[in-house]
Structures are given as structure tokens and as C-alpha cells.
Amino acid sequence: MAKTAFLFPGQGSQKAGMGADLAESVPAARAIFEEADDALGFSLSKLCFEGPDEDLRLTENTQPAILTCSIATLAAVREKGLEPDFVAGHSLGEYSALVAAGAISFRDAVQLVRKRGRFMQEAVPAGVGAMAAILGMEPQSVAEICEQAAQGEVVSPANINSPGQIVIAGHAAAVQRAVDIAVAAGAKKAVLLQVSAPFHCSLMGPARDRLAPELDAIRFEDLRTPLVNNVSAAIVLTGAAAREGLKRQVPNPVLWEQSIRRLAAEGVDSFLEVGPGRVLTGLLRSIDRALEGSAVGDLAGLEKLS
């Protein structure tokens, strides 16, 4: 029996104009944008549809914007009668996945991720942290390079995205040292990323501590659709486990490759990326060439769905 997973994108998939054609053409999608504007007290929809990009790139705006576009897209996909057997989301995308699974309300989620973005941004002063992508090296080699580069500072794997694509995060000088060591050790590529904070490393501890009581104040239901979570690539079925996973996710690496392999082991052979961009669809083929994926984030993508 064929099984489908819906995948929800994280930060980096944003661009001005996202969601505009869906909101114009699909009333259910438009209603999500209207709910976001009401929940946040400003026109997030205008920011998504018109930009400017520099405002959209601010983490406290990026996170609710991507979540809202993803859930608006989900509303349009559901109108075609499509439902997943499993859900997963990359970092921020785990919130979208939990809305899709019925664990948290969209209104709670969009308010939560705006705070999450602010807490993550404020956890480390601008310029103190950095992130870099290292391509063409095994996870164990990258972990060893990080240990060598730390020299009393923080640098560690932050996103295990696919074989040969690992993102590291930590103090800016330590990340730069790791990049230099990786290049000398034969990495295909090692480049600093244009990000505003060093996500998914121990420097995010203060953000986790501020986010935890906000998560505790929100109602979490047991999931209608199983989730494979970021922090352990484990199947989550209860609201309590979902909440705990979101707390642990902030200062710990995103195990995306492991999550996709877990979904495949559960019999998932069809993946649909729901939301802006095609980042996760691109990663699928790098993880396992046998995995089939498609993406829907606009009207053209929606019309291709059967």
C-alpha cells in the first residue's frame, strides 16, 4: 500500500510574492492569511505578497510568514481531497507539520513562531554567531572537524540535511576555523551562510529557555497524523511528545536525512513538499534516488496535483 508524507519547509524558503496567487484564487488559502493578520496584529499577508525582502528576511517575520504560506497551501491541497499518512517539517517546518496533524491550532502556531524567531535572534548578539554549509563530507568527519575547530568556543553540526550536505553553527570564529579545516581536508565546498543567528547549536539555549514556557502555555492535542520529528527522527503521536520535541529542537541539530530515511522505512514512497520553495524536494534525491517527491507552493503547483 503506497504511503504519502507531506513535508513542510523551514527558514530560507521565503521570497516576496509567496502565497499571493493562492490567496487570490483559493478562498480557504486566503482565510489562513486573514487569520494570521488578525492573530499577529499586522499585515503579514502584505509582507508575504509584496515584501520588501529585507523585512521578510528578519527571523521574527520569516518564521510566521513561511508557516502561514505553508498552511495556506495545505488548505488548498486539502480542497483536492489529499491527506498524508505522515508529516514532517524542517526546523520551523515542524510547527507547520504539527498544525497539519491537528496537534496545535494555526493561530497558536503563528503567534508561537513569531516569538520563536525573536527569541532565536536575541539569543546571540549580531555578528557573534555564524553558520556554514559543508558539502562532500561524512557526518563523522564534520563532527571531528568541529571538535578540532572549537578551541574553547562552540561549533557543531546543526542540520544533517543529506549525505554530503551538513550545516554547522556556533561562534563566528570557530565556524570560520571549521570551514578552513574542511576545505584543507578535501570538502567539495564549505561556505558561510547568510543567516542572522547560529541556529540549532548550544548557543540557542537561552532561546529554548524563553520558548519553553510559551510552549507549555499552549494546548497540544494528540496527533491525527503521525509526525517524524527533527530532534530524534522518531515517530510522535502524542501532544506531550510533540511539545517536548519542539523544546529540544531549538539547541539541537535537525536530523533531516535520518527523518526521511525513517519515513521511507515506514513505507512512504511519495513525498509532497507543501509551502514555498523546493528545498526539501531537492534534498530527497540526494538522500535516496529511489524516493519520489514533488512540491506545491503556488497555483501552478496546485493545478499539477491529481
Return the active site residues: 91, 200
Give backbone dihedrals phi and psi of 136, rounded to 5 degrees, phi first: 85, 25
Looking only at the bridges linking them, the beta strands covering 3-8 and 268-274 are: parallel
Would you say 299 and 22 are in contact if contact means Cβ atoms under 8 Å apart? Answer: yes
Residue type present at position 147? E
CA distance from start to end of the chain: 18
- In 3D space, the residue among 115, 217, 241, 135 whose CA is nearest the CA of residue 179 turns out to be 135
Would you say 56 and 14 are in contact if contact means Cβ atoms under 8 Å apart? Answer: yes
Gap between the Cα atoms of 228 and 246, Å rounded:
12
